[in-house]
Amino acid sequence: MKYLPLFFDLKTKPCLLVGGGMVAERKAELLCRAGARVRVVAPEIRPEIHALLDQYDGEALEQGYQAEMLEGALLVVAATDDHALNVQVHGDAQAAGIPVNVVDSPELCSFIFPAIVDRSPLMIAVSSGGASPVLARMVRARLEALIPRYYADLANLMGRFRDKVKQRFGKIASRRAYWERVLYGPVSEKLAANQLQEAEAWMEKELQQSQEQTTGEVYLVGAGPGDPDLLTFKALRMMQQADVVLYDRLVSPRIVELCRRDAERIYVGKESGNHAVPQEGINQLLVEQALKGHKVLRLKGGDPFIFGRGGEELEELFEHQIPFQVVPGITAASACSSYAGIPLTHRNYAQSVKFITGQLKNRTSDLNWPELVQENQTIVFYMGLHRVGHIAKQLVTHGKAPETPVALVQGGSTPQQKVVVGTLATIEQELERNPLQPPSLIIVGEVVELRDKLAWFKGEEEEAHPVLGLREQ
């Protein structure tokens, strides 16, 4: 984070603006709208700035800048085309411990002006840290189109109800639940239709009818394979509502960061031989947090109902009569195969696909091998990287052709994606030459041959090594 976003309360606070041209006019307008007492100093000051200062009770000094003018200022802005003067203002402000902005000179700024989406009291600031103001303005334009104007009325209405809601509900969880019902209820629609009185009446009625929350709820959410862009809209909404987040090792840090900032985060990741929290402990944590009245997010990599033990966790919640919701995620088989350019089914190669776990509950892999060697099907093994040699040998032993193509996909859909291709006869040697790390997926079937034509996404390592272990044609 290059800059920490802050919102200054400038009402009645003195601010100094050095410069009297068009750029200074834009900065003066922002400062005046924020309620600051603006003093502008420059040998020549545009008439528009004079008019603005008259309107907002500011002060214009048509003279040269002097360091003494900084006295008492909360912020300083230099907006001149004189580089030496800008440097001087920056140095004087730094020496006085006053935040300073020099327009179009990020290296001389201790704070910067963001592009602003104004839905007062709701304010959204967008900044590129000075790297690309044009990009920041472009993002702002998109947000302007996405965020309705009536959000200003919504924010004001919620502000008027804050004290009432605090008096009505003693628990933070109950207050948050009320506000979420407001935001996802009919209030927004009424405000969009300019029905302010009807919206306020609904909020009042809901406030009187709502009860103190005693038992929370659990959201079982699939986080997908790692790329945040592959999350569903509902998953994002649940991630923003949760008070407590329990997340797995397979959930990428970029996805965890999308959860509500003030939510408690509990890591419960599991890997071979190292379980941060055993499954029984995770089940108990979900129950304990929900019984405290919290909204609990159980965030799992991939899809929670495909080798994710989601069913086991929900059974425990059911026994304790705790409500829950399930949000599917894109499972690793779909994501890794798609990003590796390997269709799981194809009319010319495979008319069915099987998802297999490489390790059962008792830590064995005693699978129905004769069923897996059927023709015209694709087999996808989860959690089997460390047993790839055993899997390949068993498939060959039970009738699968040794030249059957195999792909190993590490970190599918992420910048760390790496793909190793071979056959049942060679894949163990290919893995030795090109080591992978869990989580990695094993794809077995003729469809792997299509990767030569269909691979469209490359991870960082694949850029340097376009094809790893690809069989010679």
Q: Which residues are annotated as a binding site?
A: 22-23, 43-44, 225, 301-303, 306, 331-332, 383, 412
> What does the alpha-carbon distance between residue 461 and residue 335 come to, in Å, rounded to a whole number?
18
Q: Which residues are annotated as a binding site for S-adenosyl-L-methionine?
A: 225, 301-303, 306, 331-332, 383, 412
**Is 190 among the catalytic positions?**
no
**Which member of 153, 227, 243, 248 is catalytic?**
248
> What does the alpha-carbon distance between residue 15 and residue 76 come to, in Å, rounded to a whole number?
6
**Is 118 among the catalytic positions?**
no
* Whether the Cβ atoms of residue 118 and residue 95 lie closer than 8 Å to each other: no
**Which member of 13, 164, 171, 270 is catalytic?**
270
Question: Omega before 228 cis (within 30°)?
Answer: no
Instruction: Indicate which residues carry an active-site annotation.
Output: 248, 270
